[in-house]
Amino acid sequence: MTPAINLLKKLKVVFNVHQYQHDTADTHFGEEAVAKLATRLQILPEQIFKTLVISLNGDNKQLAVVVLPVVCRLDLKKAAKALNCKNADMADPVQAQKITGYLVGGISPVGQKKLLPTLIHESAKEHNTMFVSGGKRGLEIELSPQDLASTLSAQFVDISC
C-alpha cells in the first residue's frame, strides 16, 4: 500500500486501484498512463490527470500542487493567480520528491508528507471519476473529483493553456 491508498481507506473514500506495467525507459509518465489505461478501461484520455508540484514567488520552500489532465499544459500564470501569488515555476524535482514523499512520475496528490495548497483543473468536474497517481509509477487511483477535492481541501480552477 502507498500513503495515498492508506489515507483514502482511512477516510473511507470510495476509489478503485488500476495498475499497469511501467516501462522504466519511459520518462513521459502521464502519457504512458494514458497509453496503457485509456483503451483498456474504455475511458477518455482527459480523465487521466497528472500531479505537478510548483514553487511560488521564486521560493523553493513555498510549494503547491496542481492536478490537471495529462493532455493539457499547465499555465503557471493562471496557477499563480489562483493561489494569490505573483508568479509560479515548476518546483525542483528533488525538492518535490522530498516534500511529497513520492518519486517524480509517481507523485500522488493524496497522502503527501505535508498537505500543500492544491488546485484541480476545472474540467475534472465534467467526469464522474478521474484518475490520479496512486503514489508510484504504474499505479493509478480512480475516484470522484469531489472526493479528491474534499480530501485535499482543493479548489477547481482553470489552470491550463
Q: Which cell goes with 78? A: 493562471
11-37: average pLDDT: 93
Residue 73's CB is within 10 A of a number of other CB atoms, namely: 10
Domain 3-157: top CATH class: alpha beta
> How far is it, in rounded angstroms, from Cα 41 to Cα 125?
19
Burial of 105-133, coded b for 16+ CB within 10 Å and e otherwise, reads bbbbbbbbeeebbbbbbebbeebebbbbb
* Per-residue DSSP letter, 160: B
pLDDT of residue 60 exceeding 90, the answer is no
Reported as a pLDDT band with limits 50, 70 and 90, residue 58 is confident
Element (H, E) at 42: none
Compute the CA torsion angle 43, 73, 63, 137 (nearest 10 deg). Answer: 40
Average pLDDT of the chain? 95
Lowest-pLDDT choice from 49-53, 55-59, 101-105, 110-114: 55-59
Lowest-pLDDT choice from 54-58, 66-70, 77-81, 136-140: 54-58
β-bridge mates for residue 132, sequence order? 141
pLDDT score for 96: 95
> Helix, strand, or coil here: 110?
coil
pLDDT score for 161: 72
28-32: average pLDDT: 92
Domain boundaries, the chain: 3-157
pTM metric for this prediction: 0.94
pLDDT of residue 92 exceeding 90, the answer is yes
Q: Which cell goes with 157? A: 480552477
- Burial level of 67, CB count in 10 A (0-12/13-18/19+)? buried
Side by side, which strands form the sheet with 59-69? Answer: 88-90, 49-56, 59-69, 118-121, 155-157
